[in-house]
Amino acid sequence: MKRTGILHAELSGALATLGHTDLLLVVDAGFPVPRDAHRIDLALTENVPDLRTVLGLIADELVVEGVVRAEHVPSHHPRLDSWLHERFAGAEFTTRPHADVLGRLAHEAKVVVRTGAFEPWGNIGLYCGVDAPRWFGGEGVVVPEEYASRI
């Protein structure tokens, strides 16, 4: 039996398939998940599980180098935005129009994880990164400029 981390078999397995630059979307209960998406539906009832719990557990298992959210999050949901910046410190943050998050990003995502969140703009994209010290910390390895600050 697995001791720690994410116990949900499908989610745990999907996370293991992600590589550098892959996009994972963690979305609210009302998100229009595309029919052809790799959808992992965790929603049980209103706010179970909630967005922050799912994002936090995923953050413990992935290297995240980028976070994308709807352009209204910083101004219309600053508590969520602040939490994201704390939880994903060191990641590059970007915004996109809400329609792009619901459309284009949903089709680009390798995995879409649906939560039970009833939270405005509760759709967050995570771009996978690499553990720079593990990849570039070997003897004689030249560290690319974009990763030097992470070593």
Active site residues: 20
| Contact call for residues 123 and 101 (beta carbons, < 8 A) | yes
Non-local (6+) Cβ contacts of 95 within 8 A are 68, 69, 70, 71, 73, 74
**Two tokens, residue 136:** 């570039």
